[in-house]
């Protein structure tokens, strides 16, 4: 009962902060429709459409409804459905991994009905109910036309030094709005725990009046248009895919360390189509699925992501090798960042830094 009350409170607070919005895309069955699979996800549809089509090739009688939402809206909707015991989606896939861990921890999932790959890293699964499908680094993107090669920072220490030129970068830095983005929040929270530069970096972002965005794609759009010079903590999958089509986009994998997370999936406890949900996740983890995810979409696989990213040296000009990657493990440790008192203190520090920049 306490858990249900807690979940209801979480949902209420999130729904008040950001109204729920879902965009459904329907992929009709290729043959005679016999069943429907509903996917709740934060991933831009262009990045996962290939996997859905491959799934429907193997399951031609399955209609797929792809329900795309922002990370916190997705969490709020899934938490509400779990609390009420109602249906929201057969499977939930999100890069906001602390929220995914919380949902699984609160009994909103069920065990997988297939065996996880033997070579899946330990950090990429938890309790046989949550599994990471991808390996996605947090990178810095920059405008190659707006930043001289000699000025390109290779790590956070050099980034802080560069951002001292406030007259040059004020209003032209972009990053996640961590109050509205679960992905942005976990990247920032992990930075605070791991980076000795965090305090100075946060101060620099505030002094430069960094622009805040809900999504990586919006930050990359700003860099591509020249409105932004730099984007911090952007999902590398989106950046690499955009760079392939737009050489103006430069990418930095910070050499001090590069955080990496995995889009995590679970089968909903109240799923209507348990079979199809398991089949989709199993496909994503298979050799075929991992090739699809690691292809044009650049959602590098959880099974061999570091090795595949290391091969991107010539393309990105900034990959430092697997030693710099620090995967964020799927584990109860992620719940620390969601503790209400810790979250409030962390967001207060964030707001004060940006307010100080506005007051300068």
Query: How confident is the model over 28-62, as pLDDT tens digits?
Result: 999 899 999 999 999 889 889 999 999 999 999 99
pLDDT of residue 10: 40
Helical residues (DSSP H) of 71-211, grouped into ranges = 71-84, 97-105, 156-162, 166-169, 182-194, 198-207
Cα 290 to Cα 50, 71, 117, 182, distances in angstroms: 11, 23, 12, 24
Between 140 and 308, the higher pLDDT residue: 140
**Domains, the chain:** 2-134+263-298 (3.40.190.10), 136-260+336-359 (3.40.190.10)
Q: pTM of this prediction?
A: 0.83
Residue 265 contacts residue 299 (beta carbons within 8 Å): no
SS3 65: strand
pLDDT of residue 306: 73
How confident is the prediction for the chain on average, in pLDDT?
87
Q: How many degrees, rounded to 5, is the angle at CA 141 between CA 17 and CA 185? A: 25
pLDDT of residue 314: 44
pLDDT of residue 360: 60
CA–CA distance, 217 with 19 (Å, rounded to integer)? 21
- Return the DSSP state at 138: E
> How do residues 134-180 score in pLDDT, each as one tens digit?
998 999 999 999 999 999 999 999 999 999 999 999 999 999 999 88
Residue 95: what are its φ and ψ, rounded to 5°?
-85, -5
Q: What percent of the chain has pLDDT over 90?
A: 68
Angle, to 10 degrees, between the axis of helix 45-58 and the axis of helix 236-245? 100
> How do residues 4-28 score in pLDDT, each as one tens digit?
433 444 433 333 333 345 689 999 9
Between 292 and 111, the higher pLDDT residue: 111
CA–CA distance, 151 with 319 (Å, rounded to integer)? 17
Residue 175 contacts residue 231 (beta carbons within 8 Å): yes
Strands (DSSP E) found in 205-304: 211-213, 230-235, 249-252, 258-261, 264-268
> How do residues 189-199 score in pLDDT, each as one tens digit?
999 988 888 99
> What are the DSSP calls for 229-246, one per residue?
SEEEEEEHHHHHHHHHH-
Residue 223 contacts residue 230 (beta carbons within 8 Å): yes
CA–CA distance, 117 with 170 (Å, rounded to integer)? 47
Reported as half-sphere exposure (CB side, CA atoms, 13 A), residue 256 has a value of 15
């Amino acid at each position: 009962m306490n858990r249900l009350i807690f979940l209801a409170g979480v949902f209420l607070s999130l729904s008040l902060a950001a109204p729920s919005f879902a965009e459904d895309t329907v992929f009709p069955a290729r043959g005679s429709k016999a069943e429907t699979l509903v996917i709740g996800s934060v991933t831009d549809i262009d990045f996962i459409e290939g996997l859905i089509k491959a799934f429907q090739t193997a399951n031609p009688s399955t209609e797929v409804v792809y329900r795309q939402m922002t990370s916190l809206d997705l969490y709020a909707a899934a938490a509400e459905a779990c609390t009420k015991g109602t249906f929201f989606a057969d499977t939930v896939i999100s890069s906001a991994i602390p929220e995914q861990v919380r949902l699984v921890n609160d009994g909103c999932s069920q065990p997988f009905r297939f065996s996880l790959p033997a070579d899946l890293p330990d950090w990429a699964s938890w309790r046989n109910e949550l599994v990471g499908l991808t390996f996605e680094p947090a990178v810095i993107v920059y405008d190659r036309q707006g930043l001289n090669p000699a000025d390109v920072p290779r790590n956070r220490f050099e980034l802080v030094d560069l951002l001292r030129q406030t007259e040059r970068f004020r209003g032209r830095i972009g990053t996640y709005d961590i109050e509205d983005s679960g992905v942005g929040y976990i990247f920032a929270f992990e930075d605070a725990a791991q980076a000795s530069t965090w305090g100075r970096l946060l101060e620099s972002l505030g002094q430069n009046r960094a622009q805040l965005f809900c999504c990586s794609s919006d930050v990359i759009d700003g860099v591509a248009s020249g409105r932004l010079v730099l984007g911090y903590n952007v999902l590398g999958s989106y950046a690499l895919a955009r760079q392939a089509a737009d050489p103006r986009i430069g990418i930095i994998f910070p050499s001090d360390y590069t955080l990496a997370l995995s889009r995590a999936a679970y089968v909903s406890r109240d799923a209507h189509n348990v079979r199809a949900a398991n089949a989709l996740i199993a496909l994503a983890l298979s050799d075929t699925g991992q090739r699809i995810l690691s292809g044009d979409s650049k959602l590098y696989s959880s099974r061999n992501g570091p090795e595949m990213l290391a091969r991107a040296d010539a393309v990105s000009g900034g990959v430092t090798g697997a030693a710099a990657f620090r995967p964020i493990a799927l584990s109860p440790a992620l719940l620390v960042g969601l503790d209400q008192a810790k979250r409030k203190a962390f967001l207060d520090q964030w707001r004060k830094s940006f307010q100080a920049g506005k007051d300068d």
